[in-house]
Structure 1
């Protein structure tokens, strides 16, 4: 009996201690599992975020070839010194992507590198876009732009059109008519709040030979027709941009519209003629300022 009383506390103590150790092990093990799960989730989130950033990002380089000229000095002071040129490229690129790729599932053109270059001499246009290598683009800005009174607005407008040209899905070598490319670029520019060219006048009759409304030499007229198509068939601009990825043929616009484009041309031209007749040739009250 005495042995029983002497051993009982010892057995109880050992049992209690063993139980306590098991609980601690379980707690430590559970904490380790939770920690690992949290780290795995964190790494996955970081990876997804990094992939997302990489997919939408591209390298930007700013070059001032105008050097010590007045234009070069203005470009350096207003757009290089505070990084404004880079922000303009980023913002205009984002807007152009939203307009030309309204559906997130639509494949995007690959853009790896964009150079914004102030040219050393005046160009025929305020912005000229070249593809230097595959997926690498150069936006050449005419130094004459540095003489604009509202310099920042002029720069954003030019870069907006330049980035629209960059993001247009027209294959490595463009096969689409020049008029449709210029019209798409102008559509993006006007959509961003930059009106048509100063010499476009008010409600100007488009050139229409009975075949297509996008053969107009005035890019503003083409942009207005494209806007008309977008209103009639929402998503048309995105579908047309995607169709240009695989080249161009006579049915490209028809397929993007889902109806004969020539028919829509007649409706559009007739509506412009009616409005013009009502307004009169000298009236400016019907001026279209933006799309």
Structure 2
């Protein structure tokens, strides 16, 4: 079940329909995603949900820019941008990563899918954007 706060929506200063749609994209992702039965970092789980709003073009203007962030699993928009980068290396990366996270999580999944460790991917991501 997804509960949306009417107080939040009532206080939203902007296009409420757009914000509601973005919120539903993010929350519905959680319904269909795997989290390694609780083993995946929370930042990755939230990053996958924000990756969905990024791909659907329902992300807000304040969303992280490519290269932003301090860690690959920082979460939300920062991790979404990193996942976008990984998906640029291997098309369908996020979907394949999600499949691997059905019963467990291991950072080695990044290497399994790309041939590179998550740390190497993060360093290359940051270097690509001059961060």
Normalising by the smaller structure, the TM-score range is 0.7 to 0.9
Per the alignment, in what secondary structure is the counterpart of residue 102 of structure 2? helix
Aligned to 1:181: 45
Task: Summarize the alignment of residues 3-22 of structure 1 with structure 2, pairs less than 5 Å apart.
Answer: none
Aligned to 1:228: 85
Higher share in strand: 1
Please provide the CA RMSD for this pair. Answer: 2.1
Q: Does 1:263 align with 2:128?
A: no
Distance in 2 (alpha carbons) for counterparts of 1:262 and 1:201: 20
Question: 1:216 is matched with which residue: 74, 77, 80?
Answer: 74
Question: 1:163 is matched with which residue: 28, 31, 45?
Answer: 28
Aligned to 2:16: 151
Question: 1:252 is matched with which residue: 104, 109, 113?
Answer: 109
Distance in 2 (alpha carbons) for counterparts of 1:201 and 1:223: 8
4+ aligned runs moved over 6 Å, structure 1: none
In 2 relative to 1, CA 197–180 (structure 1 residues): closer, same or farther, beyond 3 Å?
farther
Task: Summarize the alignment of residues 60-139 of structure 1 with structure 2, pairs less than 5 Å apart.
Answer: 138-139=1-2
Unaligned runs of 5+ in 2: none
TM-score scaled by length of structure 1 = 0.41
Residue 197 (structure 1) shift: 6.4
Q: Is the 8 A contact 2:64 2:81 kept in 1?
A: no
User: Which structure ranks higher in relative contact order (CA pairs < 8 Å, sequence separation ≥ 6)?
Assistant: 2
Task: Report Cα offsets for 1:131-151 as digits up to 9, x if no partner.
Answer: xxxxxxx10111221333422
Structure (1 or 2) with the larger CA radius of gyration: 1
Q: Is the 8 A contact 1:170 1:247 kept in 2?
A: yes
In 2 relative to 1, CA 182–203 (structure 1 residues): closer, same or farther, beyond 3 Å?
same
Per the alignment, in what secondary structure is the counterpart of residue 157 of structure 1? helix
TM-score scaled by length of structure 2 = 0.85
